[in-house]
Protein backbone atom coordinates (compact mmCIF):
# COMPACT_ATOMS: atom_id res chain seq x y z
CA UNK A 1 0.00 0.00 0.00
CA UNK A 2 1.63 3.23 -1.15
CA UNK A 3 -0.08 5.60 1.29
CA UNK A 4 0.03 3.42 4.39
CA UNK A 5 1.79 6.09 6.49
CA UNK A 6 -1.12 8.46 5.90
CA UNK A 7 -3.02 6.65 8.63
CA UNK A 8 -0.33 7.69 11.11
CA UNK A 9 -1.42 11.29 10.55
CA UNK A 10 -5.16 10.86 9.87
CA UNK A 11 -7.19 8.42 11.94
CA UNK A 12 -9.13 5.90 9.86
CA UNK A 13 -12.29 6.84 11.76
CA UNK A 14 -11.93 10.33 10.25
CA UNK A 15 -10.25 9.61 6.90
CA UNK A 16 -12.52 6.84 5.62
CA UNK A 17 -15.77 8.80 6.12
CA UNK A 18 -14.15 11.87 4.55
CA UNK A 19 -13.08 9.80 1.54
CA UNK A 20 -16.53 8.28 1.03
CA UNK A 21 -18.16 11.66 1.60
CA UNK A 22 -15.94 13.16 -1.08
CA UNK A 23 -16.88 10.39 -3.49
CA UNK A 24 -20.58 10.92 -2.76
CA UNK A 25 -20.35 14.71 -3.22
CA UNK A 26 -18.44 14.32 -6.48
CA UNK A 27 -21.04 11.88 -7.80
CA UNK A 28 -23.85 14.21 -6.76
CA UNK A 29 -22.15 17.16 -8.48
CA UNK A 30 -21.66 15.20 -11.71
CA UNK A 31 -25.26 13.97 -11.76
CA UNK A 32 -26.56 17.48 -11.10
CA UNK A 33 -24.44 18.88 -13.92
CA UNK A 34 -25.69 16.21 -16.34
CA UNK A 35 -29.31 16.77 -15.30
CA UNK A 36 -29.15 20.52 -15.75
CA UNK A 37 -27.12 20.56 -18.97
CA UNK A 38 -28.81 17.84 -21.02
CA UNK A 39 -32.33 17.27 -22.26
CA UNK A 40 -32.34 13.46 -22.38
CA UNK A 41 -31.32 12.71 -18.78
CA UNK A 42 -34.42 14.21 -17.06
CA UNK A 43 -36.64 12.37 -19.54
CA UNK A 44 -34.76 9.14 -18.79
CA UNK A 45 -35.18 9.60 -15.03
CA UNK A 46 -38.91 10.28 -15.52
CA UNK A 47 -39.34 6.94 -17.28
CA UNK A 48 -39.53 8.16 -20.84
CA UNK A 49 -37.08 6.42 -23.10
CA UNK A 50 -36.01 7.56 -26.49
CA UNK A 51 -38.67 8.51 -28.94
CA UNK A 52 -39.41 5.51 -31.15
CA UNK A 53 -37.71 5.78 -34.48
CA UNK A 54 -40.15 5.41 -37.32
CA UNK A 55 -38.97 2.58 -39.51
CA UNK A 56 -38.91 3.35 -43.18
CA UNK A 57 -41.46 1.16 -44.87
CA UNK A 58 -39.86 -1.03 -47.49
CA UNK A 59 -41.66 -0.94 -50.80
CA UNK A 60 -43.61 -4.05 -51.56
CA UNK A 61 -42.14 -6.18 -54.35
CA UNK A 62 -45.32 -5.75 -56.37
CA UNK A 63 -45.12 -1.97 -56.04
CA UNK A 64 -41.47 -2.00 -57.03
CA UNK A 65 -42.26 -4.17 -60.03
CA UNK A 66 -45.08 -1.81 -61.01
CA UNK A 67 -42.67 1.13 -60.84
CA UNK A 68 -40.18 -0.64 -63.10
CA UNK A 69 -39.32 0.79 -66.41
CA UNK A 70 -40.41 -0.82 -69.66
CA UNK A 71 -37.28 -2.99 -69.88
CA UNK A 72 -37.79 -4.30 -66.31
CA UNK A 73 -34.38 -3.21 -64.95
CA UNK A 74 -35.82 -2.17 -61.58
CA UNK A 75 -37.52 -5.54 -61.12
CA UNK A 76 -34.27 -7.32 -61.97
CA UNK A 77 -32.35 -5.16 -59.49
CA UNK A 78 -34.92 -5.91 -56.80
CA UNK A 79 -34.71 -9.65 -57.44
CA UNK A 80 -30.93 -9.50 -57.30
CA UNK A 81 -31.02 -7.60 -54.00
CA UNK A 82 -33.46 -10.10 -52.51
CA UNK A 83 -31.24 -13.00 -53.55
CA UNK A 84 -28.21 -11.33 -51.97
CA UNK A 85 -30.19 -10.81 -48.74
CA UNK A 86 -31.22 -14.46 -48.59
CA UNK A 87 -27.62 -15.51 -49.19
CA UNK A 88 -26.37 -13.24 -46.39
CA UNK A 89 -29.03 -14.55 -43.99
CA UNK A 90 -28.08 -18.14 -44.79
CA UNK A 91 -24.41 -17.39 -44.15
CA UNK A 92 -25.28 -15.71 -40.84
CA UNK A 93 -27.29 -18.72 -39.68
CA UNK A 94 -24.33 -20.97 -40.53
CA UNK A 95 -21.97 -18.79 -38.50
CA UNK A 96 -24.37 -18.73 -35.55
CA UNK A 97 -24.64 -22.53 -35.61
CA UNK A 98 -20.87 -23.00 -35.75
CA UNK A 99 -20.31 -20.54 -32.89
CA UNK A 100 -23.06 -22.17 -30.84
CA UNK A 101 -21.55 -25.64 -31.26
CA UNK A 102 -18.19 -24.61 -29.82
Q: How does pLDDT run across 34-80, given as a tens digit for each residue?
A: 888 988 887 887 887 666 655 555 555 545 445 555 556 766 777 77
Asked whether the predicted pLDDT for residue 90 surpasses 90, the reply is no
Task: Look at residue 76 and tell me if it is in a domain.
Answer: yes
Closest to 14 measured CA to CA, from 24, 6, 4: 6
Q: Note the pLDDT of residue 39.
A: 84
Query: CA dihedral defined by 37, 43, 46, 51, rounded to 10 degrees?
Result: -170
Full residue range of the structural domain in which residue 27 is found: 6-45
Residue 91 lies in a domain: yes
Whether 54 is covered by a domain: the verdict is no
The alpha helices in the chain, defined as continuous H runs, are 6-9, 12-37, 40-45, 61-66, 73-100
pTM recorded for the entire structure: 0.40
> Are residues 37 and 12 both part of a single domain?
yes
- Whether 52 is covered by a domain: the verdict is no
Count of structural domains, the chain: 2
Amino acid sequence: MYNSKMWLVVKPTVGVPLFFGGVALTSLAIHTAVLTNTTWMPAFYNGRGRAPVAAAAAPAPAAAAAAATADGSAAAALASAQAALVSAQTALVGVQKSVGSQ
